[in-house]
Structure 1
Amino acid sequence: MNVYLVGGAVRDKLLNLPVKDRDWVVVGATPDELLQQGYQAVGKDFPVFLHPQTHEEYALARTERKTKAGYTGFECHFGQDVTLEQDLSRRDLTINAMAEAGDGTLVDPYGGRQDLEKRTLRHVSQAFVEDPLRVLRVARFLARYHHLGFTVAAETQSLMHTIAVSGELQHLTPERIWVETEKALLEPSPWRYFEVLRECGALAEIFPELDALFGVPQPEQHHPEIDTGLHVMMTLQSATGLLSHSGSTSETDCTPAFNAEQRVAILFSLLCHDLGKGLTAPDQLPSHPGHEDISEHLSKKVCARWRAPNPVKRLSSLVARYHTHSHRAFELKPSTVMRLLEALDYFRRPETLSLFLTACEADAKGRTGLQDRHYHQADYLRDCAQAASNVQAQALVNLGFKGETLGIELRKRRIDAIRDMKHSYVRP
């Protein structure tokens, strides 16, 4: 049998990028032969085995035949007669359809290396249209490689449109859509994922609430870019920049380091924060009165449809409803600031404030010409929160407060602490 390194490992090696995972294809072997050599079978729909020492995945060369709708509607054939070229032909993009032999020889029957050099994402064959998941995958790959100058080939974009209008996307499970979207949000250019989906018509099928924002005007005074959909894409760009610098030691950077789950929550909350503007009555445009509550409702609807994790659901709702509170922080009464902190559950989950303020800062900076301005509201609200949290329940207990009276007095004194902060705060 012959063993080849395939897929992403070959692609990223040629791009001089770190290789995270290595996958292998085995040509000319049977399952029994691999089992006899100590490999462990793990594949359900087709034969995949784990190497006895490295535990990397080794798959028998196979072909696929479309048998029904959806991305799982394939019948697989594997056997000693399946060639490497046949196995590679079933892959989505030419840059993913390359293999490397044991001696380092590159096997590239579909021009993947040339497309890497041209920075082009191109489908391998017309079989591309048989798998609707490939629309999302291509968009995700562009989110990953956009900063390197990659674009989607026009003919591939055309096939993506064919899939989008065919109804095949409706066969994708919510969980599968979420997995691809979550991965895209963690790529260097997540906004490109949604832009590409919109360009081929797929965004209207899987995320109509977001697609509806493009072309919806906003007041130019606050949004020089005017278009709401464009603004949302700009907030993703802004947030990506903020997150890339989070956790730095700069004295001017108050943004903490976030884990992957928190980064996804921040970015997805921005996708949802203005969804209500897509339902504003035409006679009220370009203003959007009450869009916060509608956005919160729609964010819950989208998160439920995609089975989004609870941290994503929670932050998306909070940012949708309260982002304008943050923008108007200096105008808020101390009691309103307190209600905001309570809505964020700040006194039990103080980390939520940083997530919320990062999203709000990205929203404020995601506007034409305003990308570099300092978001002083975040500094102010952090100081208010710190002042309120300095008032501890135990000190009041020591003074004899207890029960319901303790809660009332604690809240009153925290509002007083916020008021003192407001009066002493020197606004830049």
Structure 2
Amino acid sequence: MTGASKGFASEWLQRHRGLGLLRLAALYADADGIPDQETIDAIALILEAGALADTSPCPMWPELAGGLMDRQPGTMIWVLRESGVLQAILPEIADLFGVPQIADDPSEVDLGVHLMRTLNETARLGAPLEVRFAALVMNVGKSDSPVEHLPVHYRHVERGGPRIEGICARFGVPDACRDMAMLALTESERVHRVSSIRAGPIAAMLERLGAFDRPARFRNLLLLCLCDYNAYARLLERPYGKSAILEAALAACGEIDHDDTIEAIGDAAFADWLRSARAGAIAEALRSLRWPTD
């Protein structure tokens, strides 16, 4: 679908009403272009007429999820925002547009525009739904950062947590999506800042992220961070070095031979031994210091 006339949109929305607003927007996530202004106006008019007034959020989730899983989920968000539907159903997301964030290259981005680019990257790289949902909501704590601090967002994690929980509760979002969103909220910026200089903190991060016992979850977070990185227009063709650091560290930890150690020292001491051994293995692999005080 390359476009839609006002007549088509009106006919569609008259047939489907309520959820039809989201369904039509989601169609554009699998399109090669954006709707014309007449279509946007038609959606806005039917929204203003109360099409969503009697529609609870939970039935909206399959429509949103379907759009997130298509080729251009960022386009769905664009249609919802331009028509006013995004502000009606996801004000936490709508409020990100126009909010600046500091970046390396370019030096500053609009969080709403960046969100749409990140979503399109999740589609390009074939990310699962939980990664795409996390990309949608992980920055919601930044919408009302104090103006005097912009474009830095102090304490956005504390503000974002309850908002993500609220979105998940009202839409009936699956637990896997909620868990990935909360992990992204607290850890994505730490992944972006990881350095090979200190092995001990990397070992602690791998444990915290579940790299040893929940590897799929860990790699989904790295995929999300890659999509977030690629969404900066000038970085798309540059390798994402943070993933390489963490993958190399994880591989080094996998070489540790600890089969006989737990029997020799017991359960209580084994956890401390393993953390130290992992830090040592990472330090050797990355040629870095083991602990910050080394």
Instruction: Please give the TM-score of this superposition, normalised by the length of structure 1.
Output: 0.62
C-alpha contact (below 8 Å) 1:224/1:369 kept by paired residues: no
Q: Alignment partner for residue 157 of structure 1, among 24, 40, 43?
A: 40
Q: Alignment partner for residue 415 of structure 1, among 270, 279, 283?
A: 279
Matched, 1:120 2:13: no
- Shift of the 419–144 alpha-carbon distance from structure 1 to 2, 3 Å rule, reads same
- Deviations along 1:262-312, one digit per CA (max 9) or x if unpaired, are 611111111122211102011111111232343344223222221111111
Offset, 1:164: 2.8
Tell me the equivalent position of 2:90: 207
Offset, 1:126: 8.7
Amino acid at match of 2:225: C
Q: Alignment partner for residue 381 of structure 1, among 237, 246, 270?
A: 246
**Mean Cα displacement is larger for which, 199-208 or 289-298?**
289-298
Matched, 1:320 2:198: no
2-side partners of 1:276 and 1:132: how far apart? 28
- Shift of the 152–342 alpha-carbon distance from structure 1 to 2, 3 Å rule, reads same
C-alpha contact (below 8 Å) 1:132/1:168 kept by paired residues: yes
Q: Give structure 1 stretches of 5+ with no counterpart.
A: 1-115, 244-261
C-alpha contact (below 8 Å) 1:269/1:316 kept by paired residues: yes
- Deviations along 1:2-26, one digit per CA (max 9) or x if unpaired, are xxxxxxxxxxxxxxxxxxxxxxxxx
C-alpha contact (below 8 Å) 1:129/1:159 kept by paired residues: no
Q: Which secondary structure state, in structure 2, belongs to the residue aligned with residue 218 of structure 1?
A: strand
Offset, 1:331: 5.8
C-alpha contact (below 8 Å) 2:4/2:39 kept by paired residues: no
C-alpha contact (below 8 Å) 1:170/1:205 kept by paired residues: no
- Deviations along 1:227-257, one digit per CA (max 9) or x if unpaired, are 11111111112222222xxxxxxxxxxxxxx
Alignment RMSD: 2.4
Amino acid at match of 2:226: E
Summarize the alignment of residues 349-364 of structure 1 with structure 2, pairs less than 5 Å apart: 349-364=214-229
- Shift of the 338–369 alpha-carbon distance from structure 1 to 2, 3 Å rule, reads same
2-side partners of 1:203 and 1:142: how far apart? 15
Amino acid at match of 2:279: I
Offset, 1:185: 1.1
Amino acid at match of 2:255: N
- Shift of the 316–127 alpha-carbon distance from structure 1 to 2, 3 Å rule, reads closer
2-side partners of 1:326 and 1:371: how far apart? 17
C-alpha contact (below 8 Å) 2:253/2:278 kept by paired residues: yes
C-alpha contact (below 8 Å) 2:58/2:170 kept by paired residues: no
C-alpha contact (below 8 Å) 1:303/1:313 kept by paired residues: yes
Matched, 1:365 2:230: yes
Percentage of identical aligned residues: 26
Q: Alignment partner for residue 155 of structure 2, among 264, 287, 290?
A: 290
- Shift of the 205–220 alpha-carbon distance from structure 1 to 2, 3 Å rule, reads same
Q: Alignment partner for residue 137 of structure 2, among 256, 264, 272?
A: 272
Q: Which secondary structure state, in structure 2, belongs to the residue aligned with residue 226 of structure 1?
A: strand
1-side partners of 2:194 and 2:46: how far apart? 46
Instruction: Please give the TM-score of this superposition, normalised by the length of structure 2.
Output: 0.88
Tell me the equivalent position of 1:281: 146
- Deviations along 1:302-355, one digit per CA (max 9) or x if unpaired, are 222211111111111111111111111116733322332222222211111210
Which structure has more helix as a fraction of its residues? Answer: 2
Amino acid at match of 2:281: A
2-side partners of 1:297 and 1:415: how far apart? 34
Look at both structures and tell me which one has the larger radius of gyration over its CA atoms: 1
1-side partners of 2:57 and 2:168: how far apart? 10
2-side partners of 1:331 and 1:387: how far apart? 13
Tell me the equivalent position of 1:27: none
- Shift of the 384–152 alpha-carbon distance from structure 1 to 2, 3 Å rule, reads same
Matched, 1:182 2:46: no
Q: Alignment partner for residue 172 of structure 1, among 55, 77, 81?
A: 55
Tell me the equivalent position of 1:403: 267
C-alpha contact (below 8 Å) 1:341/1:385 kept by paired residues: yes
- Deviations along 1:123-165, one digit per CA (max 9) or x if unpaired, are 25396287121110110111112x2x4x434333223112333
Offset, 1:223: 4.4
Amino acid at match of 2:222: L
- The number of residue pairs the alignment matches comes to 287
C-alpha contact (below 8 Å) 1:143/1:184 kept by paired residues: yes
2-side partners of 1:397 and 1:191: how far apart? 50
2-side partners of 1:401 and 1:225: how far apart? 52
Amino acid at match of 2:280: D
Amino acid at match of 1:327: H
2-side partners of 1:329 and 1:416: how far apart? 17
- Shift of the 390–295 alpha-carbon distance from structure 1 to 2, 3 Å rule, reads farther
Offset, 1:362: 0.8
Amino acid at match of 1:237: N
